[in-house]
Amino acid sequence: MTDALVLAEGLRKDFGPPRRRVRVLDGVDLALHRGEVLALLGPNGAGKTTTVRILTTLLRPDGGRATVAGHDVVRDAARVRPLISLTGQQVALDLKQSVRENLTMMGRLAHLPRRAVRGRVDELLAAFDLAGVADRRAATCSGGTRRRLDLAAGLLTRPQVLFLDEPTTGLDPRSRQAVWEVVRDVVAAGTSLFLTTQYLEEADRLADRVALVDGGRVAAEGTPAALKRQVGEASVELDLATAADADRVRGALGLPAAEGARVLAPTDGSLAHARAVLDAAAATGVVPTAWTVRQPTLDDAFLALTGHRTGAAGRPAGQSAGQSADLTAKEVAA
């Protein structure tokens, strides 16, 4: 882990008045390597934004330490800032300035040579598909366009690490796709990305590694595929017209008896095995109304590893991640 570009060790942060302190971060350990995309996935209140604010020098941790390219985010904040860029949840734009004016201002504040600003702005307008709206005020742009502009505004400095705090929250599916596309371009060009999201799909699409955060801790970490494997296997899912039909199919597949008209047949996910299952089901002569091969989702992983779905609020402070894991085991068994 010594080559980590961003490293967090045991980050702790409490908020609130002295008598009613709420622990928001309870020992967060993270590492982002060069060229990598790490997604912090968790529900509202899990501590994602607080983590990002500490790593981007906006907030001091109460405990633990964090570095960017070896520079401490508290003591060496001035060395960290040239290396990073933050695009937060709140759009950091002037709605009464045009798209180009917003970018030009950021270019000046990034202390680019005066003559270089214009060229750099043009480059970003082209790369983010903003050239057509360059002279429109940000206020008149759609939410998705504003998000792309906000991302572009963070890139005038050519940061080594880009921090995106919930980049697509509140966007419609098409705008979300557009944001993902430009984010992928940025990553492909060599920028490392630290992403927070409450959308499993987003983490799945963009991230090399996912850290599930819950109640101020990292509950699990790994590639999206590994996390999904951790919670179980794929299954062939068949919906039959009646429970009797379902029983016949279960019998043919050698599955234990079960209630209902839906049959879940475990599979290793390989083509050959899925086909064998489907052939056996088809041989019974009953026709399913619908069927699918269902892969475990990150949502399943989240539920299994933290004890609740991503939509639920975070645990109250003081309850440990360990308790949550016990709960998980029971729920999974049930």
Partner 1 sequence: MTALAPSPASPPTSRAGVRANAPASALGRAGDALADVVTMSGRALRLARRDLDSVITAAVLPVAILLLFTYVFGGAMDVGGAYVTYATPGIILLCAGFGAASTAMAVEHDMSGGMVDRLRSMPMAPWTMLTGHVAASLVKNLLTTAIVFGVAVAIGFRPDASLLDWLGAVGLLLLFVHAISWSAAFVGVLVRSPDAANGFTFFVMFLPYVSSAFVPVDTMPTWLRGFAEHQPVTPVIEAVRSLLVGAAPGTDVGATALLAVAWCVGLALVFAVAAAWGFRRRR
Cα angle 227, 233, 237; round to 5 = 130
Q: What b/e string do you get for 242-280 counting C-beta neighbours within 10 Å, with b at 16 or more?
A: eeebbbbbbebbebeeeeebebebebebeeebbeebbee
Query: Does 131 contact partner 1 by CB under 8 A?
Result: no
CB of 150 to partner 1, least distance (A): 8
Token pair of 51, please?
A: 């983590």
Could you tell me the end-to-end alpha-carbon distance of the chain, in angstroms, rounded to an integer? Answer: 38
* Other Cβ atoms closer than 10 A to 143: 13
Part of the chain binding partner 1 (CB under 8 A), chosen from 100-108, 211-219, 280-288, 325-333: 100-108
Among positions 70, 75, 116, 313, the unique one binding partner 1 when judged by CB under 8 A: 116
Quote the least distance from Cβ 214 to partner 1, whole Å: 24
* Closest approach of partner 1 to the CB of residue 246, in Å: 52
Helix (H) or strand (E) holding 26: strand 22-33
Q: Which two tokens stand for residue 57?
A: 């020098």
> According to the binding rule CB under 8 A, does residue 8 interact with partner 1?
no
- Selected binder of partner 1 within 16, 92, 223, 285 (CB under 8 A): 92
Q: Which of 17, 18, 20, 90 binds partner 1 (CB under 8 A)?
A: 90
Binding string, residues 173-212; x marks residues near partner 1 by CB under 8 A:
------------xx-xxxxx--------------------
In whole angstroms, the minimum distance from the beta carbon of 163 to partner 1 comes to 8
Closer to partner 1 at the Cβ: 157 or 324? 157
Residues β-bridged to residue 40: 196, 211
Note whether 111 binds partner 1 by CB under 8 A: yes
Among 56, 145, 198, 267, the residue binding partner 1 under the rule CB under 8 A is 56
Least distance (Å) between residue 17 CB and partner 1: 15
Number of residues that bind partner 1 (CB under 8 A): 52
158 binds partner 1 (CB under 8 A): yes
Instruction: Give the strands of the sheet with 4-15, arranged side by side.
Output: 22-33, 4-15, 63-68, 71-72
CB of 187 to partner 1, least distance (A): 9
Q: The dihedral of CA 106, 110, 116, 120: what is its sign?
A: negative
Q: Is 168 in the site for partner 1 (CB under 8 A)?
A: no
Q: How far apart are CA 167 and CA 175, in angstroms?
A: 11
Q: Which of 29, 62, 72, 123 binds partner 1 (CB under 8 A)?
A: 123
- Work out how close the CB of 249 gets to partner 1 at its nearest, in angstroms, rounded to a whole number: 51
Q: Which two tokens stand for residue 332?
A: 């999974």
How far is residue 106 from each of residues 94, 154, 182, 327, measured CA to CA in Å? 11, 8, 19, 48
Of residues 273-302, those binding partner 1 (CB under 8 A): none
The single residue listed with the structure tokens 């202390």 is 111
With b for 16 or more beta-carbon neighbours within 10 A and e for fewer, the 73-101 pattern comes to: beeeeeebbebbbbbbeeeebeeeebbbb
Q: Is residue 157 involved in binding partner 1 (CB under 8 A)?
A: yes
* 144 binds partner 1, rule: CB under 8 A: no
The answer to the question of residue 169 lying near partner 1 (CB under 8 A) is: no
Tokens representing 163?
A: 């921090």
- Which residues form the interface with partner 1 (CB under 8 A)? 53, 56-59, 78-79, 81-82, 84-94, 96-97, 101, 105, 108-114, 116, 123-124, 126-127, 150, 153-155, 157-160, 163, 185-186, 188-192
